[in-house]
Amino acid sequence: MDDLKKLRNTLLEKMKFRENNQNAQVQVQVKVAMATCGIASGAKEVMDFMAEEFDKRNIEAVVTQTGCMGYCYAEPTIEVKLPNNEPVIFGWVDLKKADRIIEKYIRNNELVEGIIPLNFASIDDNLNDETTERKKQIRIALRNCGVINPENIDDYIGRDGYQALGRCLTELSPDVVIDQVKKSGLRGRGGGGFPTGLKWEITRKSVAKPKYVVCNADEGDPGAFMDRSILEGDPHSVIEAMAIAGYAIGAEFGVVYIRAEYPLAIERLKIAIGQARVLGLLGRNIFGTDFCFDIELRYGAGAFVCGEETALIHSMEGNRGEPTVKPPFPSVSGYLGLPTNVNNVETFANIPPIITKGAEWFASIGSEKSKGTKVFALAGQINNVGLIEVPMGTTLRDVIYEIGGGIRDSREFKAVQTGGPSGGCLTKKHLDTPIDYDNLIASGSMMGSGGMIVMDEADCMVAIAKFYLEFTVEESCGKCSPCRIGNKRLFEILEKITKGNGTLEDLEHLRTLGNVIKDTSLCGLGQTSPNPVLSTLDNFFEEYYEHVVDKKCRAGVCKSLMKYIIQEDNCVGCMACARNCPVNAITGEKKLPHLINQHICIKCGACMEKCKFNAIYTN
C-alpha cells in the first residue's frame, strides 16, 4: 500500500516539475478556453490557427486547451505565458488578433489591447495574509477551470488531483471523512442547502446494501451554467469526489446523471472516467486498498423536474421523471430502493480541497451559517457576463458593480433574479445584503443552483414573472394538482394582466393562489414555483398596479398595453405610415395629420419605423 503511494508521489513530483519548471522556462505556453461558449465563439479556429502559425513562424510554443476561464463576455479568451513572465489573459481573440498577439506580444513582449485583469484568488494563495490585496473572488470549486487541460489526467494530478482520495483511503476512516465534511460546513450547492456531511452520514447509517453515489448534473435552471463549466473544465474533481463519497458512505457504484443538452461535458466526462480507470483510480482495489468504485453515466432527456432528487432517481431507473413524497429520503431508499446519496456537481467539486486543505480552512471562508464559496453564473443586462466564484456573504453590490462591471449601457439597475424559476427577485434595497442561503430565503428568493440574471429598467417585472410561470407550466410533471392546475391558473391571470385586462381582484388572487400552491405541492418544483410571482408582487407592486389600473407598462414590454400615437404637430400627411400599415389602421387625408385606430392596430411598429418626421411615439 505504501509502495503504491510512494510511486504515486514520485509521479506527482515529476508531473509538477514538468508542469511548472521545465516547460515554463523555455517555452511559450498558450491556453485556449475551450468550453461550449468559447467554441461557439470560434475558439477552436483560434487554437488551430495559433498552433499552425507557431510551426510556420518557428516559435517554440505549446498550445493547449482548457476549460472555461469565466470571462464569457470576452470569448474567445486565451492565456499566454511567456518564459519568466506572469500569464496574461487576452479576450475577444479572433484570427486577426491572434496574429497580432503572436507578432507583438509573443515575439516582442509588447502588450496588445483586450487584456482581462485577473480578479480572483486561488486556493494556493494565502487567504488570511492581510498584506496581500483582498480579492473579491476565491476559486475553490473552479480551482482548475481554465487552468488545466480537462482532457489530460496528468494536468489534474499535477495540481494535487487524486491526493485527497489517496489520503482518505490510506489514512482516514470513513467516519473521519464524514466528520471532516461536516466540520467544513459545506451545504448542498444545488439550491436546497442541506448539510452535505449530514447527508453522507445518514446514507452511511442506512443498513441496506449496495449503496449508490449519484452526481446530479441535470442543470435545468435557465440561465445557470456553473455545473456545465465545472464538468467541461475539471471533470476529474467530480470523479475524485464521488469516489471519496463512495468510500465514506460505503458504496461501490456511482452514477452521473447528466443533461443530454451538454454534449461536450458528456464527452469530457467519458474521457476522464476512461483515464481514471487506466491509472487504477477507478475500478478494483483503488490505491492498493480493498476499496472498489466505478462510475457510469445516465442521460437526462430534457425535463426540469428531474433536478429534484426523487424525480432524478426515477428517471435513472428508466421511468417518467415524476417525484415522490419524502420521506423516505433517497439516503434511505433511493435508486432501485437502495440507499442513495445525491449531491450536485459543484458540491462534489468542493470535496477534494476540503480533504487536502482541511475542514477548518474551508470553514474560515464564508459567512456564519454558509461556509465556503458559491459559483454564480452572471447573465442578463450586465457588462461582464460570466462565471464567478465568491465567498458566501459577499454583497450583491460587489457582485454586480465590482465583479460584474455594472449594468450595460450605464442603465439603471432594477433587479436580479436568483434561483431560476424557483427563486425570486432581489432589488435595490437588497444590494447590500450579504448573499448566503438564509439571507436569500429571508429576502423572498433562494440560492438556487447559482444563476443570477440581472435586469434593468427596460425589463417588465410582470412579464418576467409570466415568463417563469410559462416555464413551470411546461415543466410541471402533472402528478399533483396544485402544481399542474394552480400554476396554469397563475399563468392565465398574469397573461390577463399583461394583455391589459387585469383587475385589482386578480392581484389578490395571485397572492392567495400562489401561497396555496407553495403549501400544498408535492415536490420542490411546485413548492417554489410561485416565488417569481410572489417576490415581484412584494417588490414591484407598483408595476402590477400600473398594468391593472393605468393600463400601462413602463418598460414598454407588454405590447398590448402599448399605444402608437401620431403627434399632429409633426405629421405632414405624407401617407408613408398609412401605406405601410399591414392592417390598414391608419386613416387621414393627404397633407393632413393622420390618426391610428387603436382597435385595429396590432402594435407592429412599422409606422414608427417608416415615419421620417418623428411624428409617431409610444406612450
Partner 1 sequence: MSHIKIQLKPRQVEQLQEVCQSFNNKPGELINVLHKAQSIFGYLPAEVQEVVAKELNLSVAKVYGVVTFYSFFTMQPKGIHPISICLGTACYVRGAEKVLDEFKRLLKVNVGETTPDGKFSISCLRCVGACGLAPVVTIGEKVYGRVSPDGVKDILKEFE
CA dist 379 and 17 (Å) reads: 39
CB atoms within 10 A of CB 31: 24
* Residue 458: Cβ within 10 Å count: 15
Amino acid at 322: E
Q: Indicate the angle between helix axes 163-171 and 345-357, nearest 10 degrees.
A: 60
Q: Does 75 bind partner 1 (CB under 8 A)?
A: yes
Phi, psi of 212 (to 5 degrees): -130, 145
Contact segment (CB under 8 A) with partner 1 among 22-30, 216-224, 239-247, 542-550 equals 216-224
List helix spans (H) across 279-344.
Answer: 309-316
- Among the listed residues 1, 7, 208, 260, the single contact to partner 1 using CB under 8 A: 260
The DSSP bridge pattern shows strands 120-122 and 137-139 to be parallel
Report the alpha-carbon distance of residue 340 to residue 329 in Å, rounded. Answer: 9
Does position 459 bind partner 1 by CB under 8 A? Answer: yes
Cβ proximity to partner 1: between 151 and 261 the closer is 261
Residue 472, C-alpha cell as written in the block: 413551470
Among residues 263 and 274, whose Cβ is nearest to partner 1? 263
Binding partner 1 (rule: CB under 8 A), the pick from 7, 176, 278, 301 is 301
Judged by CB under 8 A, the chain residues 308 through 347 that form the site for partner 1 are 315-322
Query: Residue-wise over 346-380: b if at least 16 C-beta within 10 A, else e?
Result: bbbbbbbbbbbbebebbeebbbeebbbbbbbbbbb
Check binding of 220 to partner 1 (CB under 8 A): yes
CA–centroid distance for 432 within its chain: 22
Among 199, 268, 298, 371, binds partner 1 (CB under 8 A): 298
Residue 429: CB minimum distance to partner 1, A: 21
Tell me the C-alpha to C-alpha distance, in Å, between residue 567 and each of 280, 339, 564, 587.
77, 71, 10, 14
Q: Name the residue type at position 206.
A: S
Q: Retrieve residue 208's grid coordinates.
A: 441496506
Please select the residue that binds partner 1; options are 92, 120, 361, 467, rule is CB under 8 A.
Answer: 467
Minimum CB separation from partner 1 for residue 303, in Å? 5
**Residue 561 Cβ, how far from partner 1 at the closest point, in Å?**
16
Task: Provide the minimum distance between the beta carbon of 392 and partner 1 in the complex, in angstroms, as a whole number.
Answer: 22
Determine the interface stretch with partner 1 among 32-40, 136-144, 237-245, 537-545 (rule: CB under 8 A). 32-40
497: CB partners within 8 A, 6+ apart: 462, 506, 544, 547, 548
Residue span binding partner 1 (CB under 8 A) among the ranges 18-26, 272-280, 363-371, 450-458: 450-458
Three-state secondary structure call for residue 512: helix
- In the complex with partner 1, the residue whose CB is nearer, 220 or 514, is 220
Q: Which of 453, 465, 473, 537 binds partner 1 (CB under 8 A)?
A: 453
Near partner 1 by CB under 8 A, which window of 152-160, 209-217, 296-304, 611-619? 296-304
Other C-beta atoms closer than 10 Å to the C-beta of 267 total 15
412, 399 contact by CB (below 8 A): no
Q: Nearest distance from residue 81's CB to partner 1, in Å?
A: 24
CB of 568 vs partner 1, minimal distance in Å: 31
CB of 504 to partner 1, least distance (A): 28
CB of 72 to partner 1, least distance (A): 2
SS3 202: helix
Q: Answer for the pair 232, 264: CB distance below 8 angstroms, yes or no.
A: yes
Residues 6+ apart with CB under 8 A from 542: none
Query: Please, which of residues 36-65 interact with partner 1 by CB under 8 A?
Result: 36-37, 39-41
Smallest gap, in angstroms, from Cβ of residue 129 to partner 1? 33
Binding mask 416-445 for partner 1 (x = CB under 8 A): -x--x-------------------------
Closer Cβ to partner 1, 163 or 333, answer by number: 333
**Span of 200-208, 302-310, 496-504, 571-579 interacting with partner 1 by CB under 8 A:** 302-310
Give CA–CA dist 65/194, Å, rounded.
35
| 561 contacts partner 1 (rule: CB under 8 A) | no
Nearer to partner 1, 471 or 564 (CB): 471
- Binding to partner 1 by CB under 8 A, coded x per residue (else -) over 384-413, reads -xx---------------------------
**Cell numbers 432517481: residue:** 313
- Told to check if 222 binds partner 1 by CB under 8 A, we report yes
Cβ distance to partner 1 smaller for residue 311 or 355: 311
**Strand 595-596 with 451-456, pairing:** unpaired
Query: Does 219 sit near partner 1 (CB under 8 A)?
Result: yes
Binding partner 1 by CB under 8 A: which of 102, 251, 276, 377? 377
**Amino acid (1-letter code) at residue 476:** S
Q: Does 558 bind partner 1 (CB under 8 A)?
A: no
- Residues whose CB is less than 8 angstroms from the CB of residue 259 and which lie 6 or more positions away in sequence, other chains included: 217, 218, 219, 220, 299, 300, 302
Q: Does 471 bind partner 1 (CB under 8 A)?
A: yes
Residue closer to partner 1 by CB (options 68, 249) is 68
Query: In terms of CB distance, is 178 or 455 closer to partner 1?
Result: 455
Question: Could you tell me which stretch among 69-77, 165-173, 426-434, 501-509 binds partner 1 (CB under 8 A)?
Answer: 69-77
Indicate whether 374 belongs to the interface with partner 1 (CB under 8 A).
Answer: no
Q: Which residues contact 290 (CB under 8 A, 6 or more apart)?
A: none
d(CA 567, CA 614): 8
Q: Grid coordinates 510512494 are at which residue? A: 6
Candidate residues 54, 156, 200, 225; the one interacting with partner 1 per rule CB under 8 A: 225
Q: Which residues contact 236 (CB under 8 A, 6 or more apart)?
A: 150, 153, 156, 161, 162, 272, 275, 276
Give the Cα separation of 343 and 428 in Å (integer): 33
Strand partners, 386: 378
303 binds partner 1 (CB under 8 A): yes
Size of the site for partner 1 (CB under 8 A): 54
3-state secondary structure of 125: coil
What is the C-alpha separation between 601 and 610, in angstroms, rounded?
15
DSSP 134: P
Beta carbon of residue 526, minimum distance to partner 1 (angstroms, whole number): 17
Minimum distance from residue 50 beta carbon to partner 1 (Å): 21
72 near partner 1, rule: CB under 8 A: yes
For partner 1, the binding residues (CB under 8 A) are 36-37, 39-41, 72-73, 75, 219-225, 228-229, 260-263, 298-304, 315-322, 377, 379-381, 385-386, 417, 420, 451, 453, 455, 459, 464, 467-468, 471, 475, 477
